[in-house]
Structure formats: structure tokens, C-alpha cells
Amino acid sequence: MNLGDMYLSMPYIWNDCQKHNEALADRLPVLFTHGICHLMGYDHELDADYEKMSRREKEILRKFHALRG
């Protein structure tokens, strides 16, 4: 099953990380997870939708960090 396409602009992400003093290794999983959630049909147009999407993102990121150690 193809959910769609996702593009990450590494130069933009790198510059944003530099601007906010954030590590690329910390930011990429968040952006990737956010994109995957959108492909799965989540959005954040309404507050209730934002809460659902945010919970799902946190759940995925918790699992990622558990695997990462």
C-alpha cells in the first residue's frame, strides 16, 4: 500500500536546526513522524485533531527512542 510521498528538505531543516540550536539527530525523527502521521490521515486543523495527532506522534516517538536506547 502506498500512502503517498513525503519530502524533507535537508538544507532547510539544517538551517532551521542551526537557527534554533537544535541537533539534526533530534529534529529529524520528529519531522519524519509528523509527515507519517499526515500520510496516515491525521491533521491539526482543529484543536481536537491536533490533540489526536500529537498523542500519536508522541506514542511513535516514545517507541523510536526506546529502540534507539
pLDDT tens digits, one per residue of 24-61: 999 999 999 999 999 999 999 999 999 999 999 999 99
pLDDT confidence of residue 63 = 94
In a domain, 14, yes or no: no
**pLDDT of 1 strictly over 90:** no
In a domain, 57, yes or no: yes
The residues, ordered by sequence, that sit 6+ positions from 29 with a Cβ below 8 Å of its Cβ are: 61, 64
The domain in which residue 27 lies consists of 23-68
Number of folded domains that form the chain: 1
In a domain, 49, yes or no: yes
pLDDT confidence of residue 16 = 97
Please calculate the CA angle 12-17-58 and round it to the nearest 5 degrees. 100
What is the pTM (predicted TM-score) of this model?
0.87
Take residue 50 and report the three cell numbers written for it: 491536533
pLDDT confidence of residue 32 = 96
**pLDDT of 69 strictly over 80:** no
